[in-house]
Amino acid sequence: MIRPVHWLLLAVIVFGAGAMRFADLGGRPAGLFRDEAEKGYNGWALATTGGAIEFDPSLKTQIRWHPLPWMIDVVGVQTSATYQYASIPFMWAGGLTVATARMAAAAAGTLAVLVIGLLLMHAWGPGAGLAAALWTALCPWHLVFSRWALQGAFTPLFMALVLAGLYGVEQRRRWGWPLAWAAMGWLFYTYSGAQPLVLAWGFFLLIIYRRELLRGGWPLAVGIALFLIPVIPTIVVTLRPGGSARWSNVSIFNQPGATFLSASLVFIKNYLAHFNPVALFFHGDPNPRHCIPGAGQLAPIDLVLLPIGLVWTIRAKKPLAWALLAAWLCGPLPAAPTLGGMPHALRALGMALPSAVWGGAGLWLATRYVRERNARMHLDKLLWAAAIAVGLSLFALYWKTYANDPRAQVAFEKGERDAWVRIARDYKPGQRVLVSIQIPYAQYFQLFFFRMDPRKAADRGLGADFYYFDIALDKKNQFMNQMRPGDWMVTPVVPWRALSPSGEPLLPREESEIISENWVMAWQKPYTP
């Protein structure tokens, strides 16, 4: 039975989850990744003008203003506009800042904790439900993707809503099928990386809930219609020329010399890499945007708690047990057929929610077991305190790392953020700004930090004093030689050649190559780095 104290504890957990996700969003992570620049600016553009800005595929200076877009063309890749629309309330309230650009992700992460807590308090009982909500709030995998602007931030929230709908189906509630299907459809639309998860998980859910499907009736028909509303236009866009450009670039099956057999072996290897205990609990994804450097995707204590929770849900035949297992096993499928370091925590984000839920259930079972055998010694309270301390220590590691660690600063393009902040602050009319097009999304950074009016930018361009040039073709330093006193130059530099304030290389060459992001420098004539 759920009592008032349980509701109070859930409110405390959700408040804590929100505090961990909203605190100092403008400074941690310290930079502003290029995807964030686009999403933040277009969220502000939608809030102020009802449209988004798109560049031509070559990312030159041809700009178009797209009213109320369903998909946004970002450098020739079609992406959903869910994140940008979700940013509108924050842009209305706080204007365009780095912090407001990330607030939609923080809100989605906090809501996921609330939904999973409400759901599992009813499905598994208040103790297990609160533990699952607490562990989701503290989960480093979930935390990292709740604090920067990307579409994948909505994956745990939509998965939690799918599970809520499935629980309604199990309880024979009419709203079950509509909620489950609608959330699955919006997950398919929102993040292209989750589309293989939706298809695979959906297939297994049809098998798991085959009996419920037979008696679905009109709620099932409504649910299917709600699923198709976002899915059909998304598929239409994907099938157009260029609609699957990103997939073509990253697929292991499209690489020169790849055969079906060789690519399939790589697929299996990539898939299994996501279940490697060392990667899950100790070192994680090597990309600092995807995992806290020096930590795993999950807390080390989950090495024990996760299996306990998983086995308990299956053996006790708990509601949603098989749906959670199917989600966990399907989670790596979007990552397995792609290039890049494995495990890839973003594309495999579907694993995060089941992992956190099972870890919380395992923690609750462990403390209950200790309490039943050592009630007078209060060892269960010590276990709770130790587990929470582990979770908070990982948050403290996040707090320190994403402000000061050079790996995180390079991964989140702090150099580019600093360059454009400096130019926007010190720029005077008449000075020219020469920008290398080798810097990805540089135009979105200009729009973001100069807060350029979207419609004026579409009508008049980026400004007569801003020049974007190809530094690789400028072998004679034509642009550099033509610089006048006061002109600005914005150029990329590999991090192992950039210098920290102490005069040392920003990163060792090996780590620089793993992160594979350039540092960016802005300097003015006469040279003042």
| Tens of pLDDT, residues 80-90 | 999 999 999 99
pTM of the model: 0.95
Cβ(53)–Cβ(63) under 8 Å?
Answer: yes
Cβ(362)–Cβ(355) under 8 Å?
Answer: no
pLDDT at 98 over 60: yes
Q: What is the pLDDT of residue 242?
A: 60
- H runs (alpha helix) in 145-259: 155-170, 176-190, 195-208, 210-214, 217-239, 245-250
Q: What is the pLDDT of residue 474?
A: 65
Q: What is the pLDDT of residue 499?
A: 73
Mean pLDDT score across all residues of the chain: 91
Q: Which amino acid is at 36?
A: E
Cβ neighbour number for residue 118 with a 10 Å cutoff: 18
Cβ neighbour number for residue 80 with a 10 Å cutoff: 22
Secondary structure string (H, E, C) spanning 388-450: HHHHHHHHHHHHHHHHHCHHHHHHCCHHHHHHHHHHHHHCCCCCCEEEECCCCCHHHHHHHHH
Q: What is the pLDDT of residue 505?
A: 84
Nearest CA-CA partner of 487 in 451, 449, 450, 528: 528
Nearest CA-CA partner of 156 in 140, 145, 167, 170: 145
The C-alpha atoms of residue 364 and residue 355 are separated, in whole angstroms, by: 14
DSSP one-letter string for 250-288 = HBGGGSTT--HHHHHHHHHHHHHHTT-HHIIIII--SST
52, β-bridge pairs: 66
Rounded to an integer, the average pLDDT of 404-413 is 93
pLDDT tens digits for range 42-87: 999 999 999 999 987 655 557 899 999 999 988 778 899 999 999 9
Query: For the chain, what percent of residues have pLDDT higher than 90?
Result: 72
